[in-house]
């Protein structure tokens, strides 16, 4: 099956593995199922857009992308089977390659961006309300998603023009800026300053070092090649400055990489990138500084789109964040990470640790206060799973201490204990604990794998990001 305008897919091919039979984990929601094939599973929205984009890019450019073999939908989950692409994630080798090799890679990516921008915009396939050109949407003129706008996979558009695109975005920002006149005034200023006559070009929308695979042949400047550009779920037709905006959005803090995105990818549209960043800064979600209550606004911005909140570092004053923390584990017969609960407050490194301690024959519940979370040995990231009332820590201790403990079972350990505890906490009433609804077990494991990848690459994980300014 190949992408069509209808995007409808029904049955799952029976020869492919079920969820419990997925092959070796690669990254995100991708698993290698044969030596030559990868299956990637995510929402139907992201699957349909990526399938559309991969076929479109393969047909119009020389950019190395995975070939699609089939894709389908099962409820709200999509699956796509693509070629396995050889190479190392650029982020993993970034620190070991030379400055000259980094520049070689970035310049090559710039040529890819030029190829994308040179593709003539096609006439929309399905939507008669769009003009022949100048519209903003998915590769073929459908709705699209963009994390810089909604922070989740909410469908947007398509929009008939850049002006309509801007009008829609500003209407959203005005909604959550009501009651804050300085923000409303600044939004009006930005609207007057931003031109609406940019060329509308094809855009990857998520170029970062995690989505580029490379092969290093030696130490010379040209001894490195790009073997694949991945993750086209946010691709489509955007204003010409958008690729630079998203480059900055995803990796603007990385020395060299961020500057290249602003100057070389942005070109003479860099001032437009700055204006858009300032708009995002008003919500507390972007590179602009925003206002003092920006983090709360960012939370409301997600709520406005009914997005699941995956990693909110702020909460109400009377609540504390409940986090799953993981530590690198060596020598275990089955696991490579130890899981535990942490209860914390933003800007305070002192945390409450609640965990299953011991070994297979001595497992027991223990809790302790840790003065500085960043000094926990081998801490390799974590993610938020909920929140508890400020005065309910004792209740949480009691609930977790009552969780069953199984001894002498090689298939039961701290991770199973944490998962069982989460299920039990979801069933609690009274409002003292609230478990977020964004995740399943698979989602949680995927998020924690990604956190460990950041730790292995010496990038900031959840707790380092949270307390970067503390």
In a domain, 427, yes or no: yes
User: In this model, does residue 411 exceed pLDDT 60?
Assistant: yes
Q: Does the pLDDT at position 306 exceed 70?
A: no
Asked if residue 98 has pLDDT above 60, the reply is: yes
Tens of pLDDT, residues 56-93: 999 999 999 999 999 999 888 889 999 999 999 898 88
Q: Note whether 240 and 118 are same-domain residues.
A: yes
Domain end point (choices 304, 333, 361): 304
Same domain (yes/no): 105, 248: yes
Does residue 229 lie within any of the structural domains? yes
Query: 78 and 98 share a domain?
Result: no
**Boundaries of domain holding 202:** 88-304
In the chain, the number of structural domains is: 3
How confident is residue 152, by pLDDT bands cut at 50, 70 and 90? low
13 inside domain? no
pLDDT of residue 414: 94
- Whether 209 and 156 share a structural domain: yes
266 and 404 belong to one structural domain: no
119 and 230 share one domain: yes
Q: What is the pLDDT of residue 395?
A: 95
Q: Among the three residues 243, 276, 304, which one is the final residue of a domain in this structure?
A: 304
| 12 lies in some domain | no
359 part of a folded domain: yes
| 191 and 277 share one domain | yes
Identify which of 99-108, 190-199, 265-274, 406-415 has the greatest average pLDDT: 99-108
Q: Judge if 227 and 114 occupy the same domain.
A: yes
Residue 186 in any domain: the answer is yes
Q: What CATH number is attached to the domain comprising 42?
A: 3.30.200.20
Residues 127 and 27 reside in one and the same domain: no
Separation CA 210–CA 208 (nearest Å): 5
Domain's final residue, options 35, 63, 83:
83
CA distances from 201 to 106, 196, 214, 240 (A): 20, 14, 26, 6
The CATH number assigned to the domain holding 129 equals 3.90.1200
What was the pLDDT predicted at 117? 97
Instruction: Return the HEC string of the chain.
Output: CCCCCCCCCCCCCCCCCCHHHCCEEEECCEEECCCCEEEEEEEHHHHHHHHHHHHHHHHHCCCCCCCEEEEEEECCEEEEEEECCCCEEHHHHCCCCCHHHHHHHHHHHHHHHHHHHHCCCCCCCCCCCCCCCCCEECCCCCCECCHHHHCCCCCECCECCHHHHHHHHHHHHHHHHCCCHHHHHHHHHHHHHCCCCCCEEEECCCCCHHHEEEEECCCCCCCEEEEEECCCCCCEEEECCHHHHHHHHHHCCCCCHHHHHHHHHCHHHHHHHHHHHHHHHHCCCCCCCCCCCHHHHHHHHHHHCCCCCCCCCCCCCCEEEEEEEEEECCCCCCCCEEEEEEEEECCEEEEEEEEEECCCCCCEEEEEEECCHHHCCCEEEEEEEEEEECCCHHHHHHHHHCCCCCCCCCCCCHHHHHHHHHHHHHCCCCCCEEECCCCCHHHHHHHHHHHHHHHHCCCCCHHHHHCCCC
Q: Is residue 14 part of a domain?
A: no
For 432-449, write each residue's pLDDT tens digit. Answer: 999 987 778 888 998 999
| Alpha-carbon 28 to chain mean position | 9
Are 112 and 251 in the same domain? yes
pLDDT value for 322: 95
| Same domain (yes/no): 270, 342 | no
**Residue-level pLDDT at 10:** 37
pLDDT score of 38: 92
Question: In this structure, is residue 430 part of a structural domain?
Answer: yes
Same domain for 170 and 292: yes
Q: How confident is the model at residue 292 (pLDDT cuts 50, 70, 90)?
A: very low
pTM: 0.65
């Amino acid at each position: 099956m190949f992408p069509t305008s209808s995007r409808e897919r029904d049955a799952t091919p029976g020869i492919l593995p079920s969820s419990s039979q997925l092959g070796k984990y690669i990254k995100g929601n991708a698993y290698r199922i044969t030596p030559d094939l990868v299956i990637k599973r995510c929402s139907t929205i992201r699957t349909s857009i990526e399938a559309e984009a991969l076929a479109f890019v393969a047909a119009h450019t020389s950019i190395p992308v995975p070939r699609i073999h089939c894709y389908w939908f099962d409820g709200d989950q999509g699956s796509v089977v693509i070629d396995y692409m050889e190479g190392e994630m650029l982020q993993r080798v970034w620190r070991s390659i030379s400055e000259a090799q980094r520049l070689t890679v970035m310049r090559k990516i710039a040529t890819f961006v030029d190829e994308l921008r040179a593709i003539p915009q096609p006439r929309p396939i399905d939507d008669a309300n769009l003009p022949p050109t100048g519209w903003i949407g998915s590769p073929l003129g459908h709705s699209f998603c963009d994390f810089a706008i909604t922070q989740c996979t909410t469908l947007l558009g398509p929009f008939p023009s850049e002006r309509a695109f801007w009008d829609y975005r500003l209407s959203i920002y005005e909604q959550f800026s009501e009651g804050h006149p300085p923000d409303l005034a600044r939004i009006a200023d930005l609207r007057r300053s931003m031109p609406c006559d940019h060329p509308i070009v094809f855009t990857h929308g998520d170029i970062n070092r995690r989505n580029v695979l490379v092969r290093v042949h030696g130490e010379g400047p040209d001894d490195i090649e790009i073997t694949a550009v991945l993750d086209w779920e946010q691709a489509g037709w955007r204003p010409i400055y958008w690729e630079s905006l998203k480059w900055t959005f995803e990796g603007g803090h990385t020395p060299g990489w961020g500057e290249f995105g602003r100057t070389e990818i942005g070109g003479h549209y860099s001032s437009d990138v700055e204006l858009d960043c300032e708009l995002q800064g008003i919500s507390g979600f972007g590179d602009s500084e925003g206002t003092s209550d920006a983090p709360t606004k960012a939370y409301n911005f997600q709520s406005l789109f009914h997005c699941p909140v995956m990693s909110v570092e702020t909460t109400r004053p009377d609540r504390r964040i409940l986090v799953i923390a993981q530590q690198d584990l060596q020598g275990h017969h089955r696991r490579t990470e130890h899981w535990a609960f942490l209860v914390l407050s933003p800007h305070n490194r002192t945390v409450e640790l609640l965990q299953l301690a011991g070994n297979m024959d001595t497992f027991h519940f223990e809790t302790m206060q840790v003065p500085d979370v960043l000094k926990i040995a081998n801490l390799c990231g974590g993610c938020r799973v909920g929140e508890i009332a400020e005065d309910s820590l004792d209740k949480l201790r009691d609930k977790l201490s009552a969780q069953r403990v199984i001894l002498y079972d090689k298939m039961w350990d701290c991770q199973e204990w944490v998962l069982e505890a989460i299920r039990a906490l979801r069933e609690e009433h009274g409002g003292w604990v609230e478990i977020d609804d964004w995740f399943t077990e698979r989602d949680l494991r995927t998020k924690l794998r990604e956190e460990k990848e950041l730790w292995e690459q010496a990038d900031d994980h959840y707790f380092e990001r949270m307390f970067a300014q503390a």
